Amino acid sequence: MAKIAVLERKCTGCGLCQSNCPFGAIEMVGGKPELNAACKVCGICVKNCPEKAIIKLETKVNDVDKSAWKDILVFTEVSERGLHPVGLELIGKAHELAAPLGYSVKAVLVGSHISRHAEELQHYGLSEIAVYDDPTLAFFRADAYASCVEDYIRFSHPSVVLVGATALGRSLAPRLSTRFRTGLTADCTQLELKENSDLVQIRPAFGGNIMAQIVTPHTRPQFATVRYKVMNPAVRRDDASGQILARKIPTGVSQSRASCISVTPVPQKKSISDADILVVGGRGLQKESDLDMIRELASLLGGDWATTRPLVEKGWTTNDRQIGLSGRTVRPQLIITCGVSGAIQFTSCMNASDHIVAINTDRNAPIFDVAHIAIIDDLYKVIPELIQKLKEAQT
């Protein structure tokens, strides 16, 4: 565990550390720098001290009192479009993890005019819904949102905090884990909770060659981010339950260094993550124009098309069409892979699909380990036949 220390015998009181600190964590007291609770141990002050009077120390970690940290907290992202569905998936997983230990599941909402979303969350079996509702939170500022969630974590002491691996969540979660001097595992594909409340966070590692199991046994809370379409969503209940707890925004949030200059709405694009049917082209495609038959098959099935990473790297399509750890996670009702070998980077982001059909000439291809239907044949023979039969069926 790291911390920042000041060597007073070397310090000249120049104040460069205070002026360079992005978190306002350094105060000059009696001509000497003192660190407050806002310090994130980023090390900027260490690099900028001309006298080398500020150092970073590694200290021994003492085991935390795990009994003081209970329940599971889900950060539920909300925007103008409503609740992000990844939040409901995390709530569903949280209920599954919490049940054996008798934990409750709680949620925290941050934003402006979000009370109606809190009322909707009452239909998902939560014991408490904390709401930070203020006009100054109308747009995302990482420091302000982190301060609000940090405030509720210090109030409620959850053992586990789950955050969606969205653009917002990937910015928020590291800031929170740093503030609590604890660990964070990003893009988890599986989560398990031990009897001693240690969270086993499972994700592909080393280029997808292994599945790493990560735990943070000495600190609390335990943070993890999970991608959209990885977990089963919570089931909405007819009855409303759970207390809505209106929280005041922490001091200083409204004076954030970040400000909104202008807002440019981004047109909503259709995502492959939302498709019920997907046809996927892989390395087995010989040329870029062969994607036309992938698109045609997808169109005839009333679905969408996607690719693996090698085709994106060739420049045949863009990253928003890619399935994999560096692309999108999908969970369609039907997925047909064409010439896809099935590396774990790909399969870990689609193996929860309801029906998986794989077409490949290599009978030993890893994709067949997750496929429900295996077609060991040439995709240049199979796909045109499928297209022809679908056309005949539609006439």
The predicted-structure confidence for 166-209, as pLDDT tens digits, reads as follows: 999 999 999 999 999 899 999 998 999 999 999 999 998 876 67
Residue type, 133: D
Q: Which of 58, 74, 99 is the last residue of a domain?
A: 58
CA angle 297, 301, 302 (to 5 degrees): 115
328 inside domain: yes
**Total structural domains within the chain:** 3
Parent domain of 18: 2-58
Query: What's the pLDDT at 1?
Result: 64
Say yes or no: 160 and 203 in one domain: yes
Q: Full-prediction pTM beyond 0.85?
A: no
CA distance 238 to 148: 30
Instruction: Render pLDDT for 19-30 as a digit per residue (tens, 0 to 9).
Output: 999 988 999 999
Residues near 395 by beta carbon (within 8 Å), at least 6 away in sequence: none
Question: Which CATH number belongs to the domain containing residue 198 in this structure?
Answer: 3.40.50.620
Question: Which CATH number belongs to the domain containing residue 25 in this structure?
Answer: 3.30.70.20
Say yes or no: 108 and 210 in one domain: yes
**Rounded alpha-carbon distances, angstroms, from residue 240 to 18, 71, 101, 256, 343:** 49, 20, 23, 35, 44
Query: What's the pLDDT at 266?
Result: 77
Identify the segments of the chain with pLDDT beneath 50: none
Query: What's the pLDDT at 224?
Result: 98
Say yes or no: 72 and 159 in one domain: yes
Instruction: Render pLDDT for 120-165 as a digit per residue (tens, 0 to 9).
Output: 999 999 999 999 999 999 999 999 999 999 999 999 999 999 999 9
Question: Which CATH number belongs to the domain containing residue 291 in this structure?
Answer: 3.40.50.1220
Query: What's the pLDDT at 208?
Result: 67
241 inside domain: yes
